[in-house]
Amino acid sequence: MHGATPIEMLHALLLGIFVDIRDTFFEQCGPDSKLAKDLNALATEFGMLLSHQSDRSLPKTKFSGSIRRGKLMAKEYASTLLVLLCTIWSERGQQMLKKRKHFKKAPTIPDWIMLLETLLQWEKWLKSHKMALDLVKRVKQKHRNIMQLIKAIYLCQKGMGLKATKFHCIAHMHEDMLAHGVPLEVDTKFDKMHHKPTKLVANLTQKDKRVFEEQTAKRGQEV
């Protein structure tokens, strides 16, 4: 099924690679360590300082449950990487990271900064409404470079690691772009938005599978 459908950003990248990268960073900090909690608190402070108020053209950076906790919308996972990047770039953030043996190695922190910057730039480009054909043809090798960068920093061995469809499919994104156009043409974000009203009225039913659809439709008409 995955090979028969175009790869789209919402599930493969935002809810896939980006979530894994965030979780991997805190795994390397120690998931339940004081360092992870302190960095999360520092990231929350940066998120509040970067808050866009009423300007909707800027990404959301203030999260009620911090960048590690709480329910986030798919598009907000790129924002968590932005806040995390600011945290790692900061002098205070680097002082905290260097207390852990893993981050004392000279290239580790710069590698994380390069990875997060690359992913944010990549996501911004993939959201373009127009793309030059010559760039799309060149992106085959660029995507392999991004995969190699992720592989070099992603040291997590839990679960399947990088032996997953969402990682492998990056190598085939250029084929879908040439066949179907820019990634926004096959983005499921707009379809998922249509589910929200139905989910709300579905919670007002008896959850009885025999009459679930009928009751959902009636509650929808009433609302």
Same-domain status, 113 and 213:
no
The confidence score (pLDDT) of residue 218 equals: 93
Are residues 132 and 193 located together in one domain of the fold? no
Those residues whose C-beta lies under 8 Å from the C-beta of residue 133, and which sit 6 or more positions away, are none
Task: Clarify whether residues 109 and 66 are in a common domain.
Answer: yes
Question: How far from 179 is each of 19, 62, 89, 183, 197, CA to CA, in Å?
Answer: 28, 38, 39, 11, 33
Tell me which DSSP letter residue 66 carries: T
**213 with 137, same domain?**
no
Q: What's the confidence (pLDDT) of residue 10?
A: 84
Query: How crowded is the C-beta side of 167, counted as CA atoms within 13 Å?
Result: 16
pLDDT tens by residue, the chain, 223 residues: 556 778 888 888 888 899 999 999 999 998 889 999 999 999 999 988 888 767 777 888 888 778 887 678 888 889 999 999 999 999 999 999 998 988 988 889 999 999 999 999 999 999 999 999 999 999 999 999 999 999 999 876 677 778 888 888 899 899 999 999 999 888 877 777 778 888 889 999 999 999 999 999 999 999 8
Rounded to whole angstroms, the Cα distance separating 210 from 223 reads 22
Number of helices followed by number of strands (H, E) in the chain: 13, 0
- Same domain, yes or no: 131 and 218: no
Range of the domain at 125: 9-187
Q: Which two tokens stand for residue 100?
A: 């852990």
